[in-house]
Structure 1
Amino acid sequence: MYFLEPISEILKFLWVPLIQQIGYLINLQDNVEEMRRQKEELCERKKDVMIEVAAAEREGMTPTNQVREWLNRSDIIEAEVDQLDKNYRERNGCLGGHFPACYSRHKLGREVANKLKDVASHKDKAAFERVAFNPPPLMVEEKPVASIAGQTTTNKTLNDIMSLFREEEVGIIGIYGMGGVGKTTLIKHVNNHLIASREYSAIFWVTVSKDSNIDKIRKAIMRQLGMRFSGDDDEEQIAEKLFKRLRELKFVVILDDVWKSLDIDAIRIPRPNKENGSKIVFTTRSLEVCHQMDADKSVKVEVLQEEEAWTLFRQKAGNEVETPPIESTAKEVVKECGGLPLALITVGRAMREKRSIEVWQNAARALRGSSPEITGMESQVFLPLQYSYDQLGDDVKRCFLYSSVFPEDHAILKDFLVEYWIFEELIGGVDNIADARNKGNAIIQSLIDS
């Protein structure tokens, strides 16, 4: 009878799965009812977890990724259970409750049995140690900044810039304008608006200025991240550490006062894109720098309009400017400031509570002659503008200085100005008139963009 032993083993091997398959058929109704019950228990547990999460969020806490995933998976399982239940009821109803189609009944029975295990297993995973955690403090610093209330031009520019942060395809934003026009003030307001929005986990501020040292910029960002670097680390190791850390964040990097084009990739700042949601924003005096740094959008900061300039000047100079003997001369002073906020603020503070009309007339004369007699004008206004002038090429400098031969506020036609430059032999490095005209127009554009 030894030959029967292998047959017995084969039958045992086949019997267990056979019983399981038969069970899908005969236990279908019981399994459906149990699946419904387990689903109800899952729904109740989900409600409890959501209540705990809502309470934690009111305390400023953040749900754990484990809890978020469990809740998302719960929604999917509930929908799958409802679909199986619907299939069971439809098939059972269509055939008068007899459900004779064995293949269809077996298939549904297997799906219900598997889903029953899935529901029970998922429900048991809800034993969380905690549903939320206190997030790390935001890596941000609010900047003290002067109010721009009443400055319609500046507020419009601010709104234009903030709208770019909502555009997914805009990753790098360049803000440009002449020295003293208020770019730093504007970007400080941008910084503070971003902090209030709480949309970014980190906002880094780096003042670049004339020293465009990539290593210094990199380390400034790392210090704000609380990252340490030793003297043994070479630049490449430091750069790689920064890149890996920034890649984990939704960040904004603000680079203020950029004089020359910076290589974002060399600094090792991850390129902003739709996936990471990060942004890079910088201020510069030159539109050309915006182009060289691959700005997706460039925003020009304009000087203030006449009424806005008068309002700002009045705030700094005090009520004396509105007295009849002084007001007309004070408005001449404001006009000479050309709508430049830095000049308006500097002159306004210097003239605060000056009651002598002679003092005001002298200030107007000094401004007309670009004299540094007024306190603060040389260091705060003239020197920054002098540096901008020094950065111009020799041809551009000569052509720019030639403009001073025209009367103040005189309208100059571009074509005529270029012809004057050519006649005075101010444009070099060209072989013919056509090339000279082209270069002249390029110089005008570079002056406008500087």
Structure 2
Amino acid sequence: MEIVSSIASKVFELLVDPIRNPVEEVEADVPRWFTKVNNVTEDATKILLQHEDKAKRSCFMGLCPNLIRRHQISRKASQALPIVVEAREEGNFEKVSYRITPQGIGAVKGFEAFESRTSAVEQIMNALKDADVNLIGVYGMGGVGKTTLVKQIAAQVREYGIFKLVVIATVTHSPELKKVQQEIADWLDYKFDVESVEVRAARLSERIKREEKILIILDDIWAAIKLEEVGIPYGLDHKGSKILMTSRNQSVLLEMEVQRDVLLEVLQHQEAWNLFEKIVEILKIPTYDL
């Protein structure tokens, strides 16, 4: 009965811990294990109770309990014991729940589906769906909307289920690898306990590899950086990882060996004018004939 009781205690732990922390979700294997434990515990308890009940019967007028019946119960108990032990061992999960990853990328405010933008979105989405492409770049002069575009892409791939997780990190013109690593780690709810950039890169890489399908967006890259120094696996190192990068300069992206690069041009004259009129209407600013 001691083993059965310890399993019951483990079940209580698995059920209560996620309730105490509402931002955590139970690992997928735990409910399956819980169902198995329910069945195993019920069967084992019946056998053990039968055994105890028979053992309590004393001899009366020289007649002792049916020894054959006791032997059968003991044999059933012996057969059930390895199953109970196995179920107990399977319950030694490394973790029983995980923190729900922040999903802060929703519909992007300010994104307009202009023809020039629709074309760029289609090119990027096609590249993301291509199994042979894992490094994609978007380039264009400052202010054309590269950041807004990739955020819209992030929202779409999550909505369509192309990627289970999307993370975004801003690189800037003077990149600090630790800062980039931290941004990615925050999305993954991963905590560093070391300061060494190299060690952090190795650990971040291992953490990313645990994600089956992940899109990593590196925004505003001014000079080429080495992804392995940040801790971003891709290609043969992790086929479920794809990297989408933005830069003002195509040469930077080519130096980082992107397999597809998409030019985001300035809005066409009519698109720009339509956007201007929409903004004016939103702000309710009176317009005058020119």
What TM-score does the superposition give when structure 1 sets the normalisation length?
Answer: 0.41
Matching residue within 266, 269, 272 for 2:232: 269
- CA separation in 1, counterparts of 2:288 and 2:220? 38
- CA separation in 2, counterparts of 1:178 and 1:237? 35
Q: Larger Cα Rg: Structure 1 or Structure 2?
A: 1
User: Which residue pairs with 1:247 in the alignment?
Assistant: 209
User: Which residue pairs with 1:289 in the alignment?
Assistant: 252
User: Which residue pairs with 1:237 in the alignment?
Assistant: 199
Cα deviations by residue, 1:152-195 (Å, 9 ceiling, x for unpaired): 11112111111111101110100000111111111110010121
Matching residue within 182, 185, 188 for 1:222: 185
Cα 1:199/1:135, change in 2 over 3 Å = farther
User: Which residue pairs with 2:103 in the alignment?
Assistant: 140
The residue identity in structure 2 corresponding to 1:256 is: D
Cα 1:274/1:264, change in 2 over 3 Å = closer
RMSD: 3.3
User: Which residue pairs with 2:153 in the alignment?
Assistant: 190
The residue identity in structure 2 corresponding to 1:184 is: T
Cα 1:158/1:273, change in 2 over 3 Å = farther
Question: Shift in Å at residue 219 of structure 1?
Answer: 1.6
Cα 1:217/1:62, change in 2 over 3 Å = closer
CA contact (8 A) 2:203 2:231 kept: no
- CA separation in 1, counterparts of 2:181 and 2:107? 24
Cα deviations by residue, 1:391-435 (Å, 9 ceiling, x for unpaired): xxxxxxxxxxxxxxxxxxxxxxxxxxxxxxxxxxxxxxxxxxxxx
Matching residue within 162, 165, 182 for 2:125: 162
CA contact (8 A) 1:170 1:296 kept: yes
Question: Shift in Å at residue 205 of structure 1?
Answer: 0.7
User: Which residue pairs with 1:180 in the alignment?
Assistant: 143
The residue identity in structure 2 corresponding to 1:244 is: E
What TM-score does the superposition give when structure 2 sets the normalisation length?
Answer: 0.62
The structure showing larger relative contact order (alpha-carbon pairs under 8 Å, at least 6 residues apart) is 2
Cα 1:219/1:150, change in 2 over 3 Å = closer
Of Structure 1 and Structure 2, which has the larger fraction of its residues in helix?
A: 1
Paired residues in the alignment total: 207
The residue identity in structure 2 corresponding to 1:270 is: P
- CA separation in 1, counterparts of 2:228 and 2:97? 33
Question: Shift in Å at residue 259 of structure 1?
Answer: 1.2
Listed as ranges, the matches of 1:86-125 within 5 Å are none
Matching residue within 265, 274, 285 for 1:302: 265
- CA separation in 1, counterparts of 2:111 and 2:229? 35
- CA separation in 1, counterparts of 2:177 and 2:237? 26
User: Which residue pairs with 2:285 in the alignment?
Assistant: 353
Of Structure 1 and Structure 2, which has the larger fraction of its residues in strand?
A: 2
User: Which residue pairs with 2:242 in the alignment?
Assistant: 279
The residue identity in structure 2 corresponding to 1:178 is: M
The residue identity in structure 2 corresponding to 1:294 is: E
- CA separation in 1, counterparts of 2:196 and 2:221? 25
- CA separation in 2, counterparts of 1:269 and 1:181? 27
- CA separation in 2, counterparts of 1:233 and 1:246? 19
CA contact (8 A) 1:175 1:284 kept: yes
Question: Shift in Å at residue 141 of structure 1?
Answer: 2.4
CA contact (8 A) 2:198 2:229 kept: no
Question: Shift in Å at residue 247 of structure 1?
Answer: 1.5
CA contact (8 A) 2:217 2:243 kept: yes
Identity of aligned residues (%): 26
CA contact (8 A) 1:208 1:256 kept: yes
Question: Shift in Å at residue 145 of structure 1?
Answer: 2.1
- CA separation in 1, counterparts of 2:237 and 2:177? 26
Residue ranges of structure 1 left out of the alignment (5+ in a row): 1-60, 68-123, 320-348, 361-450
- CA separation in 2, counterparts of 1:243 and 1:150? 35
Where 2:109 maps in the other structure, the secondary structure is: coil
Cα 1:266/1:62, change in 2 over 3 Å = closer
- CA separation in 2, counterparts of 1:200 and 1:216? 24
Where 2:220 maps in the other structure, the secondary structure is: strand
